[in-house]
Structure 1
């Protein structure tokens, strides 16, 4: 599934290279880092032949990312596209497994997710050095489950699926070739599943859910 996004990237940059105007189509690189929190997904499925769910509660984690982009004036003023590779890690606090009776249980581990996005942005230039922007992206996510709870029960698996994000932020022009930026991203990884394993490693079932993550990021962009 990851193979389709390099094709998108090649098309994105080849098309934008045909547009007129050096400044509006300048290629740039970027990098960012920040904070991440997953929004308490409830993984539902079948365990031991019976319907079951694992409600999860997460602490704050972190996010990092980098990529390349360029302006796409043929799509409109202030429009640009990016290819982004990012990673987020959120740590689990506790769980509530429907098969263990009421109440939350301490848990360890968390979710580690690598995402490859194709993003599209709209900049809203002002008279000053600050440029607000809105954006969104579609891509592929690979999520590693590393969650343990109860008497050694684990959700330990890796799953790939579609992902999407909505972005709102602002950039500050430090120079003609450098911007610093801050943004908030709402990310949804669709239909992420994991095997549920007993303490002896036997697979007793599987559970899955969409996973929502909010990240707050700070970064820098350099025009080439």
Structure 2
């Protein structure tokens, strides 16, 4: 065999090897992009809360805040007890960082007390009269709330939020026990205020954290500042010696009710986790 023929055969062998390698490359299967779906909590949820409130209020009464000419009035003491609250609500988780809910709560009756003093002429003598007021204040509050969740760390999600709504504040059972000077010594006089309710604007600020007990159930611990508006009794009336009930224009009222609330609650996700927008991953080709 000549050198020329050997060269031709060697070239053919090399060309065949190259062709087979190219064909092998064309048979590598195409691998589609891997799509990973990130599960985030979403959808509707139910909530329930209980709380303790440190309540505040500045109460007023014309006998002591705006006494008639010739008289001087002042408050000696005012107080309002701490109370409890019980609430329910329904909400929606829009995305991992934004949610909102509508809540309704009942704030249990707390005792309000006040002692006032008025100086002037009573029963034709000058002296000082004292009045002791007491009764109950209860409230129903409805709020529309929005919250910003600030990320989840080891199952704990801190958040802040705010709410706007309405409060219905009811003052009941209020009495005024007076001690009035007379020539024969102090005379006790009992008067009563009619029960009354007041609808008022309410707003709240929230700060707290939730803990993932499961995919659907969350434990919620929070602080809330609640301004629940104003409240007032009905008109004051007394009892005279003839058995009548003379009516006066005075009312016992407050225009700045507020509370520092510490709350424990649970949120239950109705729909379970939902999928966020798909996130493409790099294409990986394998032999």
Calculate the TM-score normalised by the size of structure 2. Answer: 0.61
Aligned residues: 199
Partner residue of 2:154?
128
Shift of 1:91: 1.8
Partner residue of 1:5?
none
Calculate the TM-score normalised by the size of structure 1. Answer: 0.76
- Give 1 or 2: higher strand fraction: 1
Residue 80 of structure 1, aligned match among 70, 88, 99: 99
Partners in 1 of 2:196 and 2:136 — Cα distance?
Answer: 12
Structure 2 gap segments, 5+ residues each: 1-37, 68-72, 120-127, 178-189, 240-244, 271-287
Structure 1 gap segments, 5+ residues each: 1-20
Retained in 2: the 8 A contact 1:33–1:219? yes
Query: Per-residue CA shift, 1:106-148, capped at 9, x if unaligned?
Result: 73x3211001110011111232111111111000110101233
Partners in 2 of 1:60 and 1:35 — Cα distance?
Answer: 7
Partners in 1 of 2:66 and 2:215 — Cα distance?
Answer: 61
Partner residue of 1:198?
237
Partners in 2 of 1:154 and 1:213 — Cα distance?
Answer: 25
Larger radius of gyration: 2
Partner residue of 1:221?
267
Are residues 165 and 37 of structure 1, via their aligned partners in 2, closer, same or farther at CA, if it must alter by over 3 Å? same
Q: Does 1:171 align with 2:193?
A: no
Partner residue of 2:199?
160
Q: Does 1:69 align with 2:91?
A: yes
Partners in 1 of 2:115 and 2:231 — Cα distance?
Answer: 18
Partner residue of 2:274?
none
Are residues 67 and 98 of structure 1, via their aligned partners in 2, closer, same or farther at CA, if it must alter by over 3 Å? farther
Query: Per-residue CA shift, 1:74-132, capped at 9, x if unaligned?
Result: xxx5111110001112522531335486988473x321100111001111123211111
Partners in 2 of 1:25 and 1:134 — Cα distance?
Answer: 18
